[in-house]
Amino acid sequence: MILFPNAKINLGLHVVRKRSDGYHDIETLFYPVPGLCDVLELVHADRFEMHCYNAEIAGENLCEKAWRLLAARYDIPPVAIHLYKKIPMGAGLGGGSSDAAFTLTGLNTMFGLNLPQDELAGLAAQLGSDCAFFVYDRPMLARGRGEILTPFDLSLDRTVRIYPQPVFVSTREAYAGITPHEPAMSLEKVLKRPVEEWKDLLVNDFEETVFARHPELATAKKSLYYNGAVYAAMSGSGSALFALY
């Protein structure tokens, strides 16, 4: 079975508050980008194997964690997983989360588990905060750590272009120095405004801390507007930029 886990962008991202468990409550809109995908192959095997190409991943891969999670619950047999990475890592595009979610949905089909989408999303949420989104893979307002999802009716009639940057930004780095706060205008209200108004209203809170550490990203964003973007922003916790034309 061959699958194509796609990237996502964040349309707006507010870091609202620090939680007692050490995480942060956020508010964002996850939007799928089908034009940028990894390649994931699931193959029947005598023992579990994980092969990753075009990237080095330290420790246990999220795809392996996804298989182990299902295998522990439903006693599915081993598989060989071949993952070819095209979505840049440390770029805020959700590549690892997408790989994990597509592994769950692929194994669900491969072994006829017939698990409903909501149950798969619940399992995906155990693997990472934004993994559940990729089970649904449609525009979703995300709250909490990113796992509380609400469908949102948004179809961009714009060309979406992603610009990976030669910078790796860890989630820890992005949160360093950030000050949680309630937004002046809710994300839902902003997203209902015309796209032409988003430049002054739709904010990614991580840009303040990440751009301070990597000013070349701020320069790159300005160049996107200079070259005709209607809206441009950093995706998630960075470092990739995207633009709407």
**What residues contact residue 54 under an 8 Å CB cut-off, 6+ apart?**
84, 85, 86
Active-site annotation holder among 8, 38, 85, 205: 8
Quote the CA–CA distance of 35 and 82 in Å, as a whole number: 20
Catalytic residue status for 8 = yes
Give the whole-angstrom CA distance, residue 129 versus residue 146: 5
Residues in the chain, overall count: 245
Cα(111)–Cα(113) distance, integer angstroms = 6
Instruction: Tell the residue number behind the tokens 């809170």, with chain if given.
Output: 205
Q: Is 63 exposed, middle or buried (0-12, 13-18, 19+ CB in 10 A)?
A: buried
HSE-CB of 150 using CA atoms within 13 angstroms: 9
In angstroms, rounded to a whole number, what is the distance separating the alpha carbons of residues 80 and 85?
A: 16
Strand partners, 150: 141
> Which residue in 38, 99, 130, 205 is the catalytic one?
130
**Backbone φ and ψ of 108, nearest 5°:** -60, -40
Give the catalytic positions in this structure.
8, 130
